[in-house]
């Protein structure tokens, strides 16, 4: 998230750990803009902040055609800020998966060569597999499955035509900050054939359960025992 207060620290850490695969987490809601508010008045407030209501933001971006030029300029500016870091752009995704929003996705695909997009997240979390791995939150999981299966279906032809690479499956969407050790331990033996992405929000405070799961010796031993190869987007 190149516009957020901790971006400089994250860039320094990335440079210190060159094996990390670094991507652009495109931010067009719940965050700050790269352009000045006067340049994109339809997208942000006077402090350069995007709105925090995903459904409302998504509808505005879809129905207000006059915002598309502003969206395009902001997207290009965020890619420009990423390039200035000197880090290799391994992949692209969006905050709250907004990179698959029909208007934003079309901009990204039409400008993919100019922006240097070679790999992108295709947010497709298998519903029935998730149902067998976890319980509860049925409404959330069902709704997000319907939305992102539809968006993924529309994205695939673009990816094939432009040669944009992605994993076949993405796990974590339907868990919503519950990618804990129990979930991962159940998932690993049931991973589909091929490549999959596991995404989470590891931290030392709000989502420490997700951090603990990712550094769990039990999980690592299970990965080794099952012969699962750990890769990054660069390996696709």
- Summarize pLDDT for 170-221 with one digit per residue, the tens: 999 999 889 999 999 999 999 999 999 999 999 999 999 999 999 999 999 9
- 197 in helix, strand or coil? strand
Alpha-carbon distance of 24 to 114, in angstroms, equals 15
pLDDT in tens, 106-137: 999 999 999 999 999 999 999 999 999 999 99
Predicted local distance difference test score (pLDDT) of residue 177: 87
CB of 174 within 8 A of CB of 121?
A: no
Residue 73: is its pLDDT beyond 90? Answer: yes
Q: Where are the domains of the chain?
A: 1-120, 122-236
Enter the pTM of the model. Answer: 0.94
Strand partners, 49: 32
Give 127-135's long-range contacts (Cβ < 8 A, gap of 24+).
Answer: 127/174, 129/190, 129/192, 130/171, 130/174, 130/175, 132/190, 133/183, 133/186, 133/187, 133/190, 134/174, 134/175, 134/178, 134/183, 134/186
* Whether pLDDT at 91 is above 90: yes
Mode of pairing for the β-strands spanning 91-94 and 169-171: unpaired
CA distances from 211 to 70, 178, 181, 195 (A): 36, 11, 9, 22
Into which CATH architecture does domain 1-120 fall? Alpha-Beta Barrel (3.20)
Sorting pLDDT into bands at 50, 70 and 90, what band is 44? Answer: very high
pLDDT of residue 120: 98
Write down the H helix ranges in 136-178.
138-162
Contact 165, 193 (CB under 8 A): no
- Asked whether residue 141 carries a pLDDT value surpassing 90, the answer given is yes
Tell the residue number behind the tokens 């809601």, with chain if given.
29
- Tell me the C-alpha distance between 26 and 45, whole Å: 18
């Amino acid at each position: 998230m190149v516009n957020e207060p901790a971006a400089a620290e994250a860039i320094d850490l990335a440079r210190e750990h060159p094996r990390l695969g670094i991507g652009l987490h495109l931010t067009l809601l719940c965050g700050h803009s790269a352009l000045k508010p006067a340049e994109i008045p339809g997208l942000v407030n006077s402090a350069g902040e995007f709105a925090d209501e995903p459904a409302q933001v998504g509808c505005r971006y879809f129905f207000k055609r006059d915002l598309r030029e502003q969206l395009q300029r902001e997207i290009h500016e965020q890619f420009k800020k990423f390039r200035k870091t000197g880090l290799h752009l391994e992949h692209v995704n969006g905050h709250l998966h907004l990179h698959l929003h029909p208007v934003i996705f079309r901009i990204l695909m039409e400008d993919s060569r100019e922006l240097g997009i070679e790999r992108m997240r295709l947010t497709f979390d298998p519903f029935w597999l998730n149902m067998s791995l976890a319980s509860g939150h049925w409404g959330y999981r069902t709704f997000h499955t319907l939305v992102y299966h539809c968006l993924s279906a529309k994205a695939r032809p673009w990816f094939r035509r432009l040669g944009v690479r992605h994993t076949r499956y993405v796990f974590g969407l339907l868990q919503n900050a519950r990618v804990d050790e129990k979930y991962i331990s159940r998932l690993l033996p049931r991973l589909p054939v091929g490549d999959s992405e596991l995404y989470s929000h590891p931290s030392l405070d709000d989502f420490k359960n997700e951090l603990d799961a990712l550094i769990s010796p039990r999980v690592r031993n299970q990965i080794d025992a099952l012969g699962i190869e750990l890769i990054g987007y660069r390996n696709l």
